[in-house]
């Protein structure tokens, strides 16, 4: 990669990729693999796992008596343990 605004370096990198087919192919494959992390199912699954974890933590704290409802929100009693 090149620094933003460095057009000479960008041109050099493009030429390097055009000349080196193996490097271009490898970068393309890695880019495609990384793009899979941003598909709708992957993002949805990540959010679902995060929400499940948060719900589990909320339940665990509630069972230990550390969550207390207060004015429509939930506060964690940090002094209790």
- Alpha-carbon dihedral 44, 45, 51, 53, rounded to 10 degrees: -170
What is the per-residue pLDDT across 61-80, written as a single tens digit (0 to 9) for each?
Answer: 666 666 555 544 555 555 54
8 A C-beta contact, residue 35 and residue 27: no
pTM above 0.85, yes or no: no
The whole-number pLDDT of residue 61 equals 67
Pairwise CA distance, residues 54 & 57, whole Å:
5
What is the per-residue pLDDT across 15-70, written as a single tens digit (0 to 9) for each?
Answer: 999 999 999 999 999 999 999 888 999 899 888 888 888 887 777 666 666 655 55
**Residue 64 DSSP class:** T
Pairwise CA distance, residues 51 & 23, whole Å:
40
Identify which of 3, 33, 50 has the alpha carbon closest to the alpha carbon of residue 25.
33
Bigger pLDDT: 8 vs 77: 8
């Amino acid at each position: 990669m090149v620094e933003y605004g460095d057009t000479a370096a960008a041109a050099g990198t493009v030429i390097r990729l055009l000349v080196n087919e193996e490097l271009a192919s490898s970068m393309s494959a890695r880019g495609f693999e990384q793009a899979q992390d941003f598909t709708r199912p992957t993002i949805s699954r990540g959010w679902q796992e995060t929400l499940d974890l948060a719900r589990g933590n909320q339940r665990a704290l509630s069972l230990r008596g550390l969550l207390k409802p207060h004015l429509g929100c939930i506060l964690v009693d940090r002094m209790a343990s």
